[in-house]
Amino acid sequence: MSQRETRWVASGADLQDLVATLAAEPAYALDTEFHREKTYFPELALMQIAWRDGVALIDPMAVDVAPLRAVFEGQGLAVLHAALQDLDILTRTCGTVPRRLFDTQLAAGFVGYSTPALANLLAAELSVRLPKGDRLTDWLRRPLTDDQRTYAAADVEHLLDLHARLVQRLSALGRLDWAADECEELRTRDFSPPEPELAWLKLKDHRHLRGASRGVAQEVAAWRERRAAQLDQPTRFVLSDLAILGIAQRPPRDVDELRRVRGLDERVARGQLGGELLAAIERGRNLSPEAVVEPRADDVERDLRPAVTLISAWISQLARDTKVDTALLATRADLVALLAGDPTARLVHGWRAELVGERIAELVSGRAALAFDGRGGLRLVPVL
């Protein structure tokens, strides 16, 4: 049961009162519940906000949440857990993201956790047990039950206390700036929809396509992406991946051939949709090789490729030694970018440069080597 007053916000007047309350708050906790099983864009079903003296459950099915933009553009610190998808939704519904952000999941990665769930983190750090809820609950159904409201409020009720606890631990380790940098990188990420021409790279077997098939796959997948966004339906409702791959491998030239494509709903082949799809196929067939977005290749020189595997093993060891989440230290993409000489690589800037990037440079240049420490671990040692 929440220790704070819980408001149910379902009118414009109630939301304006909440905005006025939050304007003076130095920090607030935020979470969202959403569904996207039947839509292209995530459908916001509930927004939860907590501050020092209260919790608000905002019903976006009854009130436009856009006025919260004033809160997000203010000086208050927004505390979220695993904020990526929440920020995407805020961009769509409010046109902005919070000016200041602290992600408790990201921050926890600097004090020994690996992408922890909120329930696990609260139990470990604050001895708080969240109420059990149905992971598959329908947040779009109204009215919400008392149990649903309690469960939703609990997701934000303890976030400000958790933030204070993590700041304390990060400060003691000298890593508060590291966490702040990561949170800012997340906050400023581009949340605009991806280019439709990139959609074909998400197809499971896209790397098996060759020649003109790639151009057809690119144009057909782009058509599906635009159509799905226009209808606000999942892409699979418009055209299956299997159908796109079948079309790409043997591009149909008319409706009769289109109807024979495996995995294609015959309704798509008829009328306007069939004409649009055949037009996309024709554009793809005539697409120049230079216009095809190629799958990302491993840009590391051949003689350095074994180094990626070796350095990855050392990164894992370093993560254990420093109790920093491996994914925060360096991903494989980070290593590839560094070894390829990319000046924008994350390992050549900020805290990662000193902790990881400069030491990898010593290893690759031969000024350092990796050795076993006699206890099953790896150590970076200078070469005399």
Q: How confident is the model at residue 298 (pLDDT cuts 50, 70, 90)?
A: low
Rounded mean pLDDT of the chain?
Answer: 93
pLDDT at 85 over 70: yes
Q: Please compute the mean of the pLDDT values over residues 242-271 and round it to a whole number.
A: 92
Beta bridge partners of 44: 34
Show Cβ contacts of residue 335 under 8 Å, excluding neighbours closer than 6 positions: 308, 311, 312, 315, 347, 360
What pLDDT, in 10s, does the model give residues 108-165?
Answer: 999 999 999 999 999 999 999 999 877 779 999 999 999 999 999 999 999 999 999 9
pLDDT over 70 percentage in the chain: 98
Q: Which structure tokens are listed for 343?
A: 């000046």
pLDDT at 1 over 50: no
pLDDT number for residue 88? 96
What pLDDT, in 10s, does the model give residues 356-370?
Answer: 999 999 998 889 999
- For residues 289 and 163, give the distance between their C-alpha atoms in angstroms, rounded to a whole number: 51
Q: Using CA atoms in the order 154, 160, 162, 168, what is the torsion angle rounded to 10 degrees?
A: -170
What pLDDT, in 10s, does the model give residues 189-234?
Answer: 999 888 999 999 999 989 899 999 999 999 999 999 999 999 999 9
CB-CB contact of 110 with 178 (8 Å): yes
- For residues 160 and 71, give the distance between their C-alpha atoms in angstroms, rounded to a whole number: 17
pLDDT number for residue 3? 59
What pLDDT, in 10s, does the model give residues 319-351?
Answer: 999 999 999 999 999 998 998 889 999 999 999
pLDDT over 90 percentage in the chain: 81
What the chain holds in terms of domains, given with CATH numbers, is: 5-187 (3.30.420.10), 196-291 (1.10.150.80), 302-382 (1.10.150.80)
pLDDT number for residue 378? 87
pLDDT at 300 over 90: no
Please state the pTM of the whole predicted model: 0.91
pLDDT at 2 over 50: no
What pLDDT, in 10s, does the model give residues 20-47?
Answer: 999 999 999 999 999 999 999 999 999 9
Q: What angle do CA 111, 115, 119 make, to 5 degrees?
A: 90
Show Cβ contacts of residue 356 under 8 Å, excluding neighbours closer than 6 positions: 315, 318, 329, 330, 347
